[in-house]
Structure 1
Amino acid sequence: MPHSPLVPTVRRRRLGQTLKKLRNDAGMTLENAAVAMGWQVPKLSKIENARQQIRPTEVTGLLKAYGVDDPEVFAALQNLAKDAGKRGWWQTYSGVVSPAYADYISLEDDAERICEWAPLAVPGLLQTAAYARETMLATSQSRTPEEIAALAEVRQARQAVLTRPGNSLELWAIIHEAALHTRFEVRPTTMREQLRKLLDAAELPNVTVQLMPLDSTAHPGIFGGFGLVSFPGPTPDVVLLENLSGATYVEGDGTRPFTGAVDRIRAAALSVEDSLARITQMEEGHRK
C-alpha cells in the first residue's frame, strides 16, 4: 500500500526553510549538497519543502557540508528535526483542535518570544477561562457546548508556557483599549476578572502588556491583528493571522513587514506604566 504524502507541519517548514537558507549561504546548489550527502536531488528538495522527514543525524551531516560550526545552530536544528512530528499534550483534544490550531500550539511550545497585536480581543495566552468560553460562544457558528468547554480548557493549558521552569516564553501583548470594553450580559463579572488577569500576568518578568488608547495616532496595526512568533537559533519567524475562517501563517520574507510594524505599534501605544494604570482604573470601575 502506498504511503500517504507527508503533511508539511509548521515545524517542518521552519526546518526546511532554514536548511535551504544555510545551503544558499554556503553557495551550494541542490545538486552539490545532495552529492555531498550521497543522496538523490529529489530527497533534499523534499526536505527543504517539508515533504520528507530528516533525522537529526542527517541534519548534522548537512550542516557540516555547509560549513556551519555554531553549536547553538546544531542544537536548534537537531531538536527541530527530532520534534517535527512530535505529538504534544494538545493531541488529547484532537477532536476539537484543528490541524492549523495544533500547529500554532506547537509554535508556542517552541517559541522564545511572541509579540501580539490584539485590536479586538484579549490574546489567548492572557485570557481567563470565563472570557475564553464567552468569546468562543459568541463567535462560534457550529461548536457544541462540550466542544466550547474543551477549547476553553486548551486555551488555559496553553498558558503554561508563560511559567514553565527555565525557559518561559517571553510575551509582549499590545491590546486595543476597545477590546477591554466588551460587555458580557450572561456573566457581567467576566471583564472585571479579565482585567485583573491582565494585571496579574503583567507582574511576571517575561510578560509585558501595553494598551492602545482609543485616541491613538494612526499606526500599521489599523489593518488588523497578528502574532509575530520568534524562536531560538537560526530558524525564521512566523506570523499568525486569524479570522472566522481559521488561521493563516505568513512565513519567510513575508514576515518582514510585520517585524517592522511591531515597533511602530508599540510606539503608538501607551507606555507600560500608563497602560497598567489605565487597566487598573478600568478594573476598579467594574467594582463600583
Structure 2
Amino acid sequence: MATGASPTVRRRRLASELRRLRVERGMSMQEVADHIEITAASLSRLETGRRGIRPRDLRHFLDLYEVGTHEREALLALSRESQLRGWWQTYGTMLNSEYTTLIGLEAEALTVRNYEQTLVPGLLQTEEYARAVIEAFRPGDSRDEVDRRVAVKLERQKRLSGEMPLELSVVIGEGVTRQFVGTAEIMAEQLRRLAVRRPNVMVQVLPYGAGAHPALTGSFAIVGFPARSAIDVVYLENMLSALYLEDTEDVRQYGSVFDYLRAAALSPSDSADVLIEAAERFT
C-alpha cells in the first residue's frame, strides 16, 4: 500500500495552520471565537485537530485572517481532503476514536518507532497471535467481532509493503519472547516471523541484562511524517483508551528514550538469533 492522503493527517495539518494564522495575527482564542461566533472550546477542538472543519466554515477564518488567494486555495483543498473517508472508517463504531486516529496517522506516516514491553507490536503480529491478543483483551466479543478486529490489524500491516512502505523500527523487551499468548504453535510462528529480516523493518530485543531504563513505565510509539507541517506524534496506549502527545519537547524526549533503547538493545542480527532460539523453546 503506497502512502495515501489520510484525512486524519490532513485534519491535523489544517489545525496546525489555523493555529499559526491566529498567532501570526496576534489574536487570542477568545477574540477569534467572538468574531466567528463559536465558543473558545470549539475553537480549541478545531486548532488541535480533534474536530474537522468544512470548507464553507473555513472561509470565515480565512477572511478574518486575510489569507491570500494562493494560501487560501491550498487550505481549502486540505479541508476538502480532510472530509474524505479512510478505509478504517467503514468499521464504524467498532473501533474507538483513539485507534482510528492511530490508523489514520499510520496511513501517511514515513516512520514508526515502537517500544513494546510485553506484546509483539500490532504491525508485526501474525493473524493467529493477533486473534489471541484480541480474545484476551475483549472476552465478550463475538467471533464475528474478533474476525473484524483481526482484519483491521492485517489491513494496517499493508503499510509495510508497496511502493512507499512505512519504515518501522521496533525494540521489544525480552519479556515479549517469553509472554505466552495463544498456544505454543502460535508463539513459535510469531517469533519466527519476527526474526525474518526486511529492508524497511528493524527488530531489536532489549535483554533483561540491559538493566533499568527510562521506558520501564510502559510501551510507546512515535509516528513520524515527511512534511514539515505535519508534527510527529507520540502514542501511549492503556487498557481503556490512548493518549497522543504532540508537544515538540514531549516528542523530543521520547525520541531520546527510543535512541537509548536501541543502543542498549541487541543488534538486529543478534536479536534474530535470540528470536529463533525463543521460537524453538515453544516447539
TM-score norm. by structure 1 comes to: 0.77
How do 1:39-78 and structure 2 match up within 5 A?
Answer: 40=35, 46=43, 47-50=46-49, 51=51, 53=53, 55=55
Q: Which runs of 5+ in 1 are unaligned?
A: 1-7
Q: Alignment partner of 1:215: what SS?
A: helix
Question: Which of 88, 97, 100 is the equivalent residue of 2:98?
Answer: 100
1:162 to 135, 160, 178: 160
Per the alignment, residue 3 of structure 1 pairs with none
- Structure 1 residues 18 and 273, CA, compared in 2 at 3 Å: closer, same or farther? farther
Taking a change above 3 Å as real, the CA distance of residues 136 and 238 of structure 1, as seen in their structure-2 partners, is: same
**Paired-residue identity, %:** 35
Q: Distance in 1 between matches of 2:18 and 2:137?
A: 39
Partner of 2:266: 270
Cα distance in 2 for residues equivalent to 1:89 and 1:268: 38
**Counterpart for residue 16 of structure 2:** 17
- Secondary structure of the equivalent of 2:243? strand
Corresponding residue of 1:180 = 177
| Aligned residues of 1:30 and 1:41 also touching (Cα < 8 A) | no
SS of residue paired to 2:115: strand
Q: Counterparts of 2:52 and 2:95 in 1: how far apart (Å)?
A: 24
Residue 142 (structure 2) aligns with? 144
Question: Does residue 224 in structure 1 map to residue 221 in structure 2?
Answer: no
Q: State whether structure 2 residue 239 is matched by structure 1 residue 241.
A: no
CA shift, 1:49, in A, is: 4.3
Q: Which amino acid aligns with 1:278?
A: V
Q: 1 or 2 for the larger relative contact order (CA 8 Å, sep ≥6)?
A: 2
RMSD: 3.4
Distance 1:237 1:156 in 2: 24
Instruction: Decide which of 201, 207, 211 is 1:207's aligned counterpart.
Output: 201
Residue equivalent to 1:4? none
Change (3 A) 1:12 1:175: same
Counterpart CA distance in 2 for 1:30 and 1:41 is 13
Amino acid at match of 2:219: G
C-alpha deviation, 1:207, in angstroms: 0.8
The equivalent of 2:4 in structure 1 is none
Structure 2: segments with no counterpart, 5+ residues: 1-6
Distance 2:17 2:55 in 1: 15
Structure 2 distance, partners of 1:52, 1:135, is 33
| Structure 1 residues 117 and 220: alpha-carbon distance in aligned structure 2, compared to 1, 3 A threshold | same
Question: Paired residues, what number?
Answer: 261
What is residue 122 of structure 2 aligned with on the other side? 124
Query: Residue type of the partner of 1:53?
Result: I
SS of 1:223 mapped into structure 2: coil
1:130-168 deviation per Cα after TM superposition (whole angstroms, max 9, x unaligned): 001111111224322221121011111110001022x21
**SS of the counterpart of 2:102?**
helix
- Deviation of the 1:78 alpha carbon: 7.5
Displacement after TM superposition at 1:22 (Å) = 6.6
Distance 2:267 2:222 in 1: 20
